Amino acid sequence: MTNSAFPGLDAYLDSESGPVERALERAIVTLEQCEAPIEPEVLSAIRHGVMSGGKRLRPILFASAYQACGAEAKEASYDLAASLEMIHAYSLMHDDLPCMDDAALRRGRATTHRVHGEDVTIRAGAALIPAAALQALDASGRLGCEQARCLTIVRTLMAAAGAGGMVGGQWVDLLGEGLALGTEDLDALHRMKTGALLTASLEMAALAADADSDTRDALRTYGQAIGLAFQIADDVLDATASAETLGKNPSDAVLDKSTYVALYGLEEALRRARYQVDIAVSALKAAGIESPALVALGRHVVERRK
Ligand code: GRG
């Protein structure tokens, strides 16, 4: 498996974010043209929550893994990638609600509920979940996946988003506020809350590209390791970066959350994050996956500034 000349991470992110943004725009137009019309204010809230910048890490990981498996990027592959971002966007919209993290700022602007209201934001976020499942099913079919594989792809996305993944992790996170969680509990929480969807990005790509089981296993290992690295880096950024840089208000201390920084201190937390990236990169290498993009994205997960 090879990857053609890598242009460097910044140029690569620029080149991949265009097709991702266009796929998200198509997804929103699909919702706007839905047979049973969605209320205009709900559509505006969906647009606010989805088309609001963001690093687009999950769909870009998907696109990179898909191409690392030897498949050719096309409109439908970005539509499948976008289904991950739709789940991610809904989770941020709901995470910011007063009953959860009660945040005013996200991606450098007012959170969706501060602009559109809580009731509308709840409906907008909820509408994105089945929309993402339908989008994943449709895009997998357009990529030529047979029915069983289409269903496995959708199952992978929904399982990662669900009670055994992101929703479950969020629940444990909310219950854990004010408690001092140890390493094992914190790892378990974040493998669900953050890691599950990041890992699904890689697994869905392997499935869509019909990769062999060694490649799939390696991409899953890569996803799990960078998922943990991502969260450690997130804790470091929350403790060290400004709201202006992050586009959101640092909140771990305010919400009395357990963090890797509290457990290990900044330096050791970063060392552990980098170690996870090494695990991720080694898994690629051992499986013969030659992808400068995935290697660079893995390192970026820890070295990013926001
Ligand atoms: C009902 C319990 C319950 C849950 C509903 C709200 C929710 C589902 C889940 C929240 C999951 C969550 C907030 C995970 C955080 C993941 C995370 C670190 C987000 C930040 O991701 P980035 O940095 O953000 O990729 P951008 O803005 O770049 O996309």
Q: What is the pLDDT of residues 113-122, one digit of tens each?
A: 999 999 999 9
User: For a substitution probing ligand 1, which of 61, 99, 193, 197 has the most ligand atoms within 8 Å of its CB?
Assistant: 193
User: What pLDDT digit, counting tens, does each position of 238-259 carry?
Assistant: 999 999 999 999 999 999 999 9
- pTM across the whole model: 0.97
Strand partners, 286: none
* Residue % of the chain over a pLDDT of 70: 99
- Residue-level pLDDT at 4: 58
Check if 59 has its Cβ closer than 6 Å to any atom of ligand 1: no
Atom of ligand 1 minimally distant from the CA of 55: 28
1 has pLDDT over 70:
no
- Residue-level pLDDT at 21: 98
Check if 234 has its Cβ closer than 6 Å to any atom of ligand 1: yes
63 has pLDDT over 60:
yes
Give the CA angle between residues 44, 47, 50 to the nearest 5°: 150
Atom of ligand 1 minimally distant from the CA of 231: 18
278 has pLDDT over 50:
yes
| Residue 166 Cα distances to 55, 91, 195, 290, angstroms | 19, 8, 8, 29
Closest CA to 133 of 155, 114, 117, 118: 155
User: What pLDDT digit, counting tens, does each position of 157-211 carry?
Assistant: 999 999 999 999 999 999 999 999 999 999 999 999 999 999 999 999 999 999 9
User: What pLDDT digit, counting tens, does each position of 20-53 carry?
Assistant: 999 999 999 999 998 788 999 999 999 999 999 9
User: For a substitution probing ligand 1, which of 166, 231, 305 has the most ligand atoms within 8 Å of its CB?
Assistant: 166
* Whether the Cβ atoms of residue 19 and residue 76 lie closer than 8 Å to each other: no
Closest CA to 219 of 156, 272, 275: 156
3 has pLDDT over 80:
no
Q: How far apart are CA 220 and CA 216, in angstroms?
A: 6
Three-state SS at 162: coil
Helices (H), 191-265: 196-208, 213-240, 243-246, 260-264
- Taking residues 208-233, report their average pLDDT: 98
- Residue-level pLDDT at 249: 94
145 has pLDDT over 70:
yes
Closest CA to 74 of 6, 143, 157, 15: 143
* Whether the Cβ atoms of residue 242 and residue 229 lie closer than 8 Å to each other: no
- Residue-level pLDDT at 241: 94
